[in-house]
Amino acid sequence: MKNILVITASIFGQDGQSSQLVNRTLEQLHQSHGPTRITHRDLAAEPVPHLDADRFGAFLSNPDHRDHNQQQVVAYSDSLIQEIADADIIVMGVPMYNFGIPSPLKAYFDHIARAGVTFRYTENGPVGLLEDRPVYVLAARGGMYAGTPNDSQTPYLKSFLGLLGLKDVHFVYAEGLNMGEEQKEAALQQADRSIETLTA
């Protein structure tokens, strides 16, 4: 049985287009792999706290000298990382807000990027410590951005996930969703075809 970690961040919850693309991906993965075990982290419904000096200080502190609050911060981060470590497949729903990723997703990333835990520094640069596995990114956008300088999401997500050791990253784009019903329908149909091909 495949363990799938689902990460969503749409402010519209299950009604969001990125969340619906995630659901279609899960249906296809179930058809391809049989029974699956799903862990769903909805960052819009249960946001991860944004990184501040105290939380970052907890990550850097000596484990033997952490106070109660620091222990809680690190334990929370450890639990997020463990979810990834336990997953065979990661499915991410990523809407575009103001040319970037949702801020709760950035906060989540800040809690799973831990030097010495999920990556390490070397003389040749950082090296990811997580075992590679498939990551499906379902990107829903109101305009047309893929392949243009305004697509800040794709290079950022590739770089960040690569930092952790996750390099088998697959993007599915549904674009122009706010550019009329005809364009929206065509984009969603194309996304469905891409999902079916990727997960076969």
Question: What fold is seen in the domain 2-199?
Answer: Rossmann fold (3.40.50)
Domain range annotation of the chain? 2-199
Question: Per this entry, what is the length of the chain?
Answer: 200
Average pLDDT over the chain, rounded to an integer: 96
Residue 42 in this model has a pLDDT that exceeds 90: yes
For the whole model, what pTM was predicted? Answer: 0.95
Distance from C-alpha of 20 to C-alpha of 4, rounded to nearest angstrom: 16
Residue 103 in this model has a pLDDT that exceeds 90: yes
Residue 35 in this model has a pLDDT that exceeds 90: no
- Give the pLDDT of residue 34: 86
In single-letter form, the type of residue at position 53 comes to A
Distance from C-alpha of 113 to C-alpha of 34, rounded to nearest angstrom: 32
Residue 50 in this model has a pLDDT that exceeds 90: yes
In single-letter form, the type of residue at position 112 comes to I
- Give the pLDDT of residue 117: 97
Distance from C-alpha of 28 to C-alpha of 22, rounded to nearest angstrom: 10
pLDDT average, residue stretch 27-55: 95
Helices (DSSP H) in the chain: which residue ranges? 17-33, 53-60, 68-86, 103-112, 153-164, 181-199
Q: In the structure encoding, which two tokens stand for residue 146, read together?
A: 């893929």
